[in-house]
């Protein structure tokens, strides 16, 4: 068996095209241009790259992009005051504070200061609770992207057995909630799960989000299963740095029915879903119908 490759780059381009259509419609029919504000504290090189990419993608989709770059020694009071101003600004529909923050800042406090309706990362405790109880929430971007790809590949997920390897608040836990919402039978596993390979082999859908390079070998994959690899790990191989996932791609692709590659799988979907969340937030703010297919 050779797995079907789920092309996240192509699917993300499709999602971004849908976002752009909805943005154009909001402008034409309601005079509304959604706006995304991204806050970066300090000069972490990787974070700066992410912020530039998010700003560029926002503008390409026809939305307004507001970047706030603050020095690394910004006080907590200053950062919270900025978030307060963005919460009150009707031109800003989405607020994203780039993580990680400098160590002197309390990330939980900062995230929970964002207005829940503008929390396009879906990290606010109110959105976590809404998602966990099956109510309308802002959904974290990476698991939302995984869900979109699964729905596109399978149609209905009802009755499928899903195993999520990883229990982070950013991916593992919300991924499990989304799969439950689509009527899967869900197990959350992790690095300390007993007989982890045996647990994984039960899965019709296997989502690897544990943050360990190539931890999941092919013999942990049920023949014909769909494998979603969320991991992005930089390792040295053959004298150069390469990107690999949490799944051993070569061995898993021989067993799986479908698999996401790294790079080019889940990664491109994260920014696409950030844009989708911003449009959804704008529609909710104005009491308009939400775009179909761009949220859970």
Residues classed as catalytic? 54, 98, 121
195: phi then psi, degrees, rounded to nearest 5: 50, 50
267: Cβ contacts below 8 Å, ≥ 6 apart: 8, 232
What are the tokens at 257? 């029915």
Q: Are 154 and 160 spatial neighbours (Cβ–Cβ below 8 Å)?
A: yes
Q: Are 280 and 5 spatial neighbours (Cβ–Cβ below 8 Å)?
A: no
11: phi then psi, degrees, rounded to nearest 5: -65, -40
Q: Which of 153, 190, 194, 180 is nearest to 7 (CA)?
A: 153
Q: Are 74 and 43 spatial neighbours (Cβ–Cβ below 8 Å)?
A: no
Can you tell me the distance from the alpha carbon of 261 to that of 109, in angstroms, rounded to the nearest whole number?
35
Element (H, E) at 259: strand 258-259
């Amino acid at each position: 068996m050779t797995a079907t490759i789920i092309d996240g780059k192509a699917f993300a381009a499709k999602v971004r095209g849908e976002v752009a259509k909805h943005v154009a419609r909001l402008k034409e029919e309601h005079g509304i241009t959604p706006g995304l504000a991204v806050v970066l504290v300090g000069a972490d090189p990787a974070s700066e790259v992410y912020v530039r990419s998010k700003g560029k993608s926002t503008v390409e989709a026809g939305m307004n992009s507001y970047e706030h770059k603050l020095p690394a020694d910004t006080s907590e009071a200053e950062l919270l005051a900025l978030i307060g101003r963005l919460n009150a600004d009707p031109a800003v529909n989405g607020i994203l504070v780039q993580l990680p923050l400098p160590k002197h800042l309390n990330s939980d406090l900062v995230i929970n200061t964002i207005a829940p309706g503008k929390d396009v990362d879906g990290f606010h405790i109110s959105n976590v609770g809404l998602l966990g109880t099956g109510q309308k929430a802002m959904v974290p971007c990476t698991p939302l992207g995984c869900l979109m790809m699964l729905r596109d590949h399978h149609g209905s997920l009802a009755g499928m057995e899903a195993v999520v390897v990883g229990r982070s608040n950013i991916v593992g836990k919300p991924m499990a909630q989304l799969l439950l919402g689509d009527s899967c039978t869900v197990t959350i596993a992790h690095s300390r799960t007993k007989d982890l390979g045996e647990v994984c082999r039960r899965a019709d859908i296997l989502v690897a989000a544990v943050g360990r390079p190539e931890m999941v070998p092919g013999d942990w994959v049920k023949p014909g299963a769909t494998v979603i690899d969320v991991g992005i790990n930089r390792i040295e191989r053959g004298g150069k740095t390469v990107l690999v996932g949490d799944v051993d791609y070569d061995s898993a692709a021989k067993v799986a029915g479908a698999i996401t590659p790294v790079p080019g799988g889940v990664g491109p979907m994260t920014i696409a879903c950030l844009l989708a969340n911003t449009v959804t937030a704008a529609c909710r703010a104005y009491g308009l119908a939400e775009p179909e297919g761009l949220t859970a």
